[in-house]
Amino acid sequence: MEQNKKYSQIRAMKAIAIASFRSIIRNPSAVIFSIAFPLVFIVAFGFINGNSIKMEVGIDPESDTTGTIYHSFISSPGITLKQNLSTVELNERLNRGRVDAILKFDHTDETGLEAVEIITSQASREKGMFVRSLITNLVDKQNLEYYKNVSRSIDSSTIAVARETTRPTELRETKVTGREYKMIDFILPGQLGFSILSAAVFGTAFVFYSLRQTMVLKRFFATPIKRPYIILGEALSRLVFQLLGSSVILFIGHFVFGFTLIHGLWTAIVMLLLSALGLIVFMGFGFVVSGIAKSENVIPPIANIITLPQFLLCGTFFPIDAFPKWLQVISNVLPLTYLNDALRRVAFEGAGLADISTQILILVLWGVVVYAAAVRFFRWE
Amino acid sequence: MVRSEIIAVKDLVKHYKEIEAVNGISFSVMEGEIFGLLGPNGAGKTTTLEIIETLREKTSGSVVVDGISLDADPNSIKQIIGVQLQAANYYPNLMLNELLDLFAGLYNTSINNFEMLSLVGLETRGKSKYKELSGGQKQRFSIATTLINKPKIVFLDEPTTGLDPQARRNLWDLIKEIRSKGTTVVITTHYMDEAEILCDRVAIIEKGKIISIDSPEKLIDNLIASGFERKKEVKSANLEDVFLSLTGYEWRDQ
């Protein structure tokens, strides 16, 4: 007899996963939020590429910062200085395009020349060029001043005085061939991270709220499936759907907008693994929301409280470095920061899972906290 | 004919925080009968049913279904019963065929969707989404899902509430058909005509207690024997007969 066969929870779970997946793909808002929305942002930001002229310039720690060029340079508009980093760190940042150029000011040159060394990288070609032309202007101006002074001098003693006040300056230039870091390389991981967050929180909250409210869950309870398998089935379908969505975003990002995948397919796979981890962690928020929401109308505001700050503060659109220090403290607590950061490192710097173990660890810690809350707040009936 | 007992409920009590919903109920359901739980809203019918269906914890008492104790092995009970809930729903965007696949998976069985839908007169709606069905169709589909695991007992909680007379009559036929295949049916209703036509035995529940239990015929005879008389002479037809003879007995699908 049929009922004497061992009942398979896995088979029942698969049935729920398939049904739930069908339900998700017929839900237009799921498709729009998970795929269309991030793509719109990617397209929009892909086109306003490089419109903001904010340059991060590294100052070599061995620089002499008493020279005149240095002082005129730091008062130029649009410049953010990175001064407290070692040469190695600066070079690394330059390579990744996090710093647009490195300058080394040399005042006490024995030839009597003031020298400025500039290193730029393809990782930030346009901004590097901008820094270069800025510094070239300053050098030209200074040199012109010097020769004016010299030609006005009559004897050797006045030349010496002229030399005291202004010196000729030499610009030495180095270009490193860093990888080209495009706007899309910043925007896409952020969009991916955010679409995972919002799909996980909103999707899970709405689905479990409505399954509970319309008594779909109750009908399941009357069948032999155990409750954890109902959740697993639902979670599995969301995971598959979201990973498909992420794949589409990566595919279009890479082939249409030139998103950098350093190790090609392998990088994409690591990014998908990270997406899966992020999704699982963020779904915990969704379970909490579905539990504390007293009516369907309060789900969006509660879910927004969770997603919006992370949208703004976790490096989705703006690098966290751009925020004031006190705000960065908040950014550095929120989980999406670590997902976005990990995604960017993997995609652009070719980091392996071991290189982003800190980010993964923090996400897992968040997972533990969120699921502890979910166990406390989740309601079946 | 002696039939064996398939459900035995003894001294069943269910207390919510302040309300005593079920207050010491005992009854038996015989194999192959249609057993009705009657009573006004809030009498405790649904609570009693949901405890037997393993959906609700009881406060005290014992329930044995087909020899399986509810306390010992609720999951085995779930495998031999089919449950239709008041106001239960399904994924609204899924087609009936897909929902039947889902429940086949949940019961670890395989079924012929077309045959299953034919049983409830929905054989042409396999590719319709659940949300596109009318109220009566949803109710019939809900009953179809109770039959997927070829259960020994089917529980129907107010299956005809809100349906038009045609749908009600046809649902009665469906319920009788289910019973004719040997399945025991436990039904709650507050329509007495329905109970009188369908049920072999009924229990009347009031304020969490059973106040009477017997066959409808016997209960009526007892009342008449006590000297009761209807105020008005009953005609050999009523308004519902008029309505049905004018509008037909067929399913109304839209």
pLDDT in tens, B50-96: 999 999 999 999 999 999 999 999 999 999 999 999 888 899 999 99
Please indicate whether, in this complex, the C-beta atoms of B79 and A23 are within 8 angstroms of each other: no
Rounded to a whole number of angstroms, the distance between the first and last alpha carbons of chain B is 43
CB proximity A29 to B under 8 Å: no
Q: Three-state DSSP class for A140?
A: helix
Q: Which of A104-113, A193-202, B114-123, B153-162 has the lowest mean pLDDT?
A: A104-113
pLDDT in 10s for each residue of chain A, 381 residues = 444 568 899 999 999 999 999 999 998 877 887 788 888 877 777 665 544 467 888 888 888 777 777 888 877 777 788 888 888 888 888 887 788 888 888 765 556 667 888 888 877 777 787 888 888 888 888 788 777 777 776 666 666 665 666 666 777 777 666 666 677 778 888 889 989 998 899 889 988 998 998 889 999 999 999 999 999 999 999 999 999 999 999 998 888 887 888 778 888 999 999 999 999 999 999 999 998 988 888 999 999 999 888 888 888 877 787 788 888 888 889 999 999 999 988 887 778 888 888 889 999 999 999 999 888 888 887
Q: Which of A223, A241, A381 to mutate to test the interface with B (most CBs of B within 10 A)?
A: A223
Please indicate whether, in this complex, the C-beta atoms of A20 and B91 are within 8 angstroms of each other: yes
Please indicate whether, in this complex, the C-beta atoms of B107 and A223 are within 8 angstroms of each other: yes
Which chain A residues are within 8 Å of B94, Cβ to Cβ? 19, 22-23, 26
What is the pLDDT, as a whole number, of residue A166?
62
Please indicate whether, in this complex, the C-beta atoms of B108 and A7 are within 8 angstroms of each other: yes
The C-alpha atoms of residue B175 and residue B160 are separated, in whole angstroms, by 11
In this prediction, what percent of chain B has a pLDDT beyond 70? 96
Question: Which residues, other chains included, contact A164 with Cβ-Cβ below 8 Å and sequence gap of 6+?
Answer: none
Picking from A138, A168, A135, A169, the residue whose alpha carbon sits closest to that of residue A151 is A168
Where on the phi/psi map is residue A88: left (φ > 0), alpha (ψ -120 to 50), or beta? alpha
Which chain A residues are within 8 Å of B67, Cβ to Cβ? none
CB proximity A18 to B under 8 Å: yes
**What is the total residue count of chain B?**
254
- Least CA distance to B51: which residue of chain A? A222
CB proximity B81 to A under 8 Å: yes
Cα distances (angstroms) measured from residue A366 to each of A231, A304, A360: 20, 18, 10
Q: Give ipTM to 2 decimals.
A: 0.89
| Closest Cβ opposite residue B87 in set A7, A215, A223 | A215
The C-alpha atoms of residue A261 and residue A250 are separated, in whole angstroms, by 9
Q: Which two tokens stand for residue B24?
A: 């010491």
Cα distances (angstroms) measured from residue A199 to each of A209, B69, B91, B114: 15, 43, 19, 36
Q: E strands along chain A, which residues? A: 55-59, 79-82, 101-106, 114-121, 169-176
The C-alpha atoms of residue B92 and residue A296 are separated, in whole angstroms, by 17
Query: What is the mean predicted confidence (pLDDT) over B183-188?
Result: 95
The C-alpha atoms of residue B79 and residue B165 are separated, in whole angstroms, by 33
Q: Which of A218, A230, A232, A234 to mutate to test the interface with B (most CBs of B within 10 A)?
A: A218
Picking from A162, A74, A59, A172, the residue whose alpha carbon sits closest to that of residue A112 is A162
* Residue in the structure block whose two tokens are 């032999």: A224
Cβ(A374)–Cβ(A306) below 8 Å: no
Which tops the pLDDT comparison, A112 or B187? Answer: B187
What is the pLDDT, as a whole number, of residue A164?
60
What is the pLDDT, as a whole number, of residue B107?
94
Please indicate whether, in this complex, the C-beta atoms of A221 and B81 are within 8 angstroms of each other: no
Question: Which residues, other chains included, contact A248 with Cβ-Cβ below 8 Å and sequence gap of 6+?
Answer: A35
Cβ(A188)–Cβ(A251) below 8 Å: no
Count CB-CB contacts under 10 A for residue A123: 24
In this prediction, what percent of chain B has a pLDDT beyond 90? 65
- Least CA distance to B90: which residue of chain A? A216
The C-alpha atoms of residue A123 and residue A131 are separated, in whole angstroms, by 14
pLDDT in tens, B195-250: 999 999 999 998 899 999 999 999 888 888 888 887 776 678 888 888 888 887 77
Q: Are strands A55-59 and B153-157 parallel, antiparallel or unpaired?
A: unpaired
In the A/B pair of chains, how many CB contacts fall below 8 A?
91
Q: Three-state DSSP class for B82?
A: strand
The C-alpha atoms of residue B13 and residue B8 are separated, in whole angstroms, by 14
What is the pLDDT, as a whole number, of residue B213?
93
The C-alpha atoms of residue B68 and residue B57 are separated, in whole angstroms, by 16
**Number of C-alpha atoms within 13 angstroms, CB side, residue A185?**
21
H or E stretch at B10: strand B5-15
Which positions 211-250 of A are in contact with B (Cβ < 8 Å)?
Answer: 214-216, 218-226
The C-alpha atoms of residue A12 and residue A228 are separated, in whole angstroms, by 11
Please indicate whether, in this complex, the C-beta atoms of A222 and B80 are within 8 angstroms of each other: no
Picking from B126, B117, B153, the residue whose alpha carbon sits closest to that of residue B28 is B153
How many angstroms separate the CA of residue A26 from the nearest CA in chain B? 7
- Least CA distance to B96: which residue of chain A? A19
The C-alpha atoms of residue B84 and residue B146 are separated, in whole angstroms, by 6
Residue type, B186: V
What is the pLDDT, as a whole number, of residue A111?
60
Cβ(A125)–Cβ(A85) below 8 Å: no
* Residue in the structure block whose two tokens are 């991916």: A192
| Closest Cβ opposite residue A218 in set B80, B85, B108 | B85
What is the pLDDT, as a whole number, of residue A61?
83
- Least CA distance to B88: which residue of chain A? A215
Note the Cα A248 to chain centre separation in Å. 19
What is the pLDDT, as a whole number, of residue A50?
46
Which chain B residues are within 8 Å of A224, Cβ to Cβ? 75, 78-79, 106-108
What is the pLDDT, as a whole number, of residue A108?
59
| pTM, to two decimals | 0.76
Q: Residue B63's beta-bridge partner residues?
A: B9
Q: Is the dihedral of CA A309, A310, A316, A322 positive or negative?
A: positive
What is the pLDDT, as a whole number, of residue A363?
93
CB proximity B197 to A under 8 Å: no
Which positions 98-127 of B are in contact with A (Cβ < 8 Å)?
Answer: 98-99, 101-109
Q: Is the dihedral of CA A145, A151, A153, A156 positive or negative?
A: positive
Q: Which two tokens stand for residue A106?
A: 């040399």
Which chain A residues are within 8 Å of B55, Cβ to Cβ? 218, 221-222
How many angstroms separate the CA of residue A221 from the nearest CA in chain B? 7
Q: In what order do the strands lie in the sheet with B209-214?
A: B81-84, B153-157, B184-189, B34-38, B201-206, B209-214
Q: Which two tokens stand for residue A347?
A: 């995609």
How many angstroms separate the CA of residue B102 from the nearest CA in chain A? 5
The C-alpha atoms of residue B121 and residue B125 are separated, in whole angstroms, by 9
Please indicate whether, in this complex, the C-beta atoms of B109 and A2 are within 8 angstroms of each other: yes
Q: Over chain B, what is the mean pLDDT? A: 90
Please indicate whether, in this complex, the C-beta atoms of A22 and B94 are within 8 angstroms of each other: yes
Which chain A residues are within 8 Å of B87, Cβ to Cβ? 215
Residue type, A52: S
CB proximity A9 to B under 8 Å: no
Cβ(B154)–Cβ(B184) below 8 Å: yes
Please indicate whether, in this complex, the C-beta atoms of B78 and A222 are within 8 angstroms of each other: yes
Please indicate whether, in this complex, the C-beta atoms of B93 and A221 are within 8 angstroms of each other: no
